[in-house]
Chain A
Amino acid sequence: MSGVTSIRPHREFVLADCGDSAVRLTSLSPDAEERWQAVHAVAAALDARGDDVAVTGIIPTYDSLLVEFDCAATTHDAIRALVERLIELPAQPSTRGSRQFEIPVVYGGEFGPDLDDVAAHLALSPSEVIRLHSARPLTMRCFGSPGGAPMLDGPAFPRPVPRRTIPRPHVPAGAVAVAGRQAVISARPAPGGWPVIGRTPLTIVDPATEPLSDFRPGDTFLFVPITAAEWSTYEGVRHG
């Protein structure tokens, strides 16, 4: 790393072509929080520009940003120059502070069919996995698929959690899963390869409303263990 890294670490990045209609920006800052802030600041700046740059999609995640564009209406060079210019701008302060949400979860059993496997892999008891998962708030880094699932930093497990060898054909909405050092809440029913350790009765994404989700990257989620008997108390409640 150059000397610049220590002064402006978020400005160290890689910009790679992703075919004829997208480029991918990846921050190389040594600090995870700074990587996230850097790519989300560029995403927000691109978003604010609307349609004038032929950008058709913006996908910011943990440390990278995919910028999709209409290559008949602009060029890779123009998009690359724009992204490079935006990353040099001072990060805009967020328009609102992050909020914390409490997410009730029934862990294990039919609600979390992979809890025991995850515990075995981590050499922990299932209750210890639950304790670590619900010990402190986890930060939402981005929306993922399918359907706009909140993707979070993972709990403080001793090592990364492997994905399932055989993905599940059906994972229900509200499934609470972990993989690698990430955590997720399924927004909609879909196939999935992440080990499922629990499920929340809350409605995460509601296609009948706009915005579809109350959550935003930067929000924090505190998982609260509940019993299966308490499921109906929260079922279908939309949070936020």
Chain B
Amino acid sequence: MAESITVTTPGLTSIQDLGRLRGSRFGQMTGGASDQYSADVANALVGSHRTAPLLEIVALDFGAVVSVDLLVAVTGAPAEVQVGGVTRPQWEPFVWTAGEELTVRGIHDGLRVYLAVHGSIAAPSLLGSCAPDSVLGFGRQLTVGESVAIDVDGPPIDHPYFRVPLFRLGAEPASFTGHWTIDVTDGPDVHEFGATAARLYDTPFVIGDNTNHIGLRLTPADPGSDVPRRDRSTEVLSRGVPIGAVEVPAGNEILVLHRGRGVTAGYPVLAVVTATALSRLGQARPGQEVRFRKVSVPEAVDGYRSQRRSIALLRSRVANAFASLRIPTHTDTTSTQHHSVPQMESA
């Protein structure tokens, strides 16, 4: 029988994955989970492939009922996660019991929560990804009463008497407290900004309201501060811009391009946000104050590899735990997007 998740409170929720690779050659945005780390960990915790579709719940409360006992994991921003009114942990897998409502309420500090399932979520694919693309009109937000088909191939295992966490797999939760420091490397056009480039690091910035998965707009926390300025006005031919590009258009704001960015632009790229900091920025709320910190490219690569290594270790713990309980894992995918297991040699 076809199993499904039926939405009771949709909030702002979509079916998401890690993004659409190789579409950029044809002018298509990459998209995908704005907090790639939390999405990756969510799928790792349930033994699903890292590019498997999962739910991205943004800012607002979410609720749904499932037709079959289902092993799930919820990561991302802190929130109150309950099944049938009983609180369940984030960053550890747990069983979502058939017929009971799972709710995610009061998302705070960050913006996005990820819900991954053990099994697979059916989702239409475009160029090898289910990631919504608002420009193409592909993918959509879930609506109340909507049923999302799921395929479950192994019974989940729960504590027979108590709703205590069965697993303690030790995923490293993303941090949402303290100062938000955003690491960036020098961009390819940093020389066009002369000494004003330093303003990126000297000035605290505030995330603007007009911020989304396409990009973030930031203004100096002190309105009297000036942003970096390009010291030339020559025409720039359109060229590919990396995700994370820090651009400085006219006016007193800076732009950070995120995963929904258009692939070409004519602005010089002052700096590029690191892959790990991009996940953090994917959780930034309007009004949040951030500071930029310059790191070298090798430091940025080390940081990302360290993050991926911790997820790989988590995956091996999950595989061992699941194997001992005879729960199947899904480390491969039929998706046309192939993500090889990263080589974890040192840089």
Q: Which residues of A contact B (CB under 8 A)?
A: 16-22, 24, 26, 43, 47, 51, 54, 56-66, 68, 70-76, 142-149, 151, 160, 165, 179-182, 187-190, 205, 207, 210-213
Contact = CB atoms under 8 A, between A and B. Distances in A.
Which are the 6 A-B pairs with shortest beta-carbon distances?
A: A145-B262, A66-B240, A19-B272, A59-B240, A143-B27, A148-B27
Given A47-B25, A76-B301, A22 B242 contact: yes
A151 B26 CA distance: 11
Nearest to A161: B235
Nearest to A145: B262
Contacts of A76: 297, 301
Contact of A62 (B136, B239, B241, B273): B239
B244 interface: yes
B16 to A, nearest CB: 17
B30 interface: yes
Interface in B239-296: 239-245, 250, 261-264, 266, 269, 272-275
Contact of B21 (A16, A57, A64, A213): A57
Given A19-B297, A19-B300, A59-B264, A147 B275 contact: no
Contacts of B29: 145-146
B185 interface: yes
B22 A58 contact: yes
B264 A151 contact: yes
Nearest to A54: B340
B262 A18 contact: no
Given A61-B238, A61-B264, A146-B29, A71 B301 contact: yes
A143 B24 CA distance: 9
Contact of A57 (B24, B237, B300, B338): B24
30 contacts: A17-B185, A18-B242, A18-B269, A19-B184, A19-B185, A19-B274, A20-B272, A21-B242, A47-B25, A51-B338, A56-B21, A57-B24, A61-B240, A61-B264, A63-B237, A65-B240, A66-B239, A68-B242, A68-B243, A71-B304, A72-B305, A72-B308, A73-B340, A75-B347, A143-B263, A145-B263, A146-B29, A146-B135, A207-B133, A207-B136
Given A51-B338, A73-B343, A144-B27, A19 B187 contact: yes
Contacts of A73: 340, 342-343
Nearest to B303: A20
B339 interface: yes
B138 interface: yes
A63 to B, nearest CB: 6
Question: How would you classify the secondary structure of chain B's contact residues: helix, strand, loop or mixed?
Answer: loop
A34 B23 CA distance: 25
Given A24-B240, A62-B238, A72-B304, A147 B28 contact: yes
B137 interface: yes
B188 interface: yes
Given A20-B272, A43-B25, A144-B27, 15 more contacts: A19-B184, A54-B340, A57-B25, A60-B240, A66-B240, A66-B242, A71-B275, A72-B308, A74-B343, A142-B264, A143-B27, A146-B135, A146-B262, A165-B250, A181-B235
Nearest to A205: B136
A26 B189 CA distance: 12
Nearest to A216: B26
A57 B30 contact: yes
Interface residues of B, number: 57
Residue among B30, B238, B300 with the highest chain A CB neighbour number at 10 A: B238
B264 A148 contact: no
Interface string B182-212: 0011111000000000000000000000000
B242 A19 contact: yes
Contact of B26 (A66, A143, A182, A188): A143
Contacts of A181: 235, 237
B92 to A, nearest CB: 24
Given A18-B188, A19-B187, A19-B272, A70 B26 contact: no
A47 B24 CA distance: 12
B237 A61 contact: yes
B25 A66 contact: no
Interface string B328-347: 00000000001110111001
A53 B41 CA distance: 24
A22 B239 CA distance: 13
A30 B269 CA distance: 23
Contacts of B250: 165
Contacts of B135: 145-147, 188-190
Contacts of A182: 237-238
A21 B278 CA distance: 12
A20 B27 contact: no
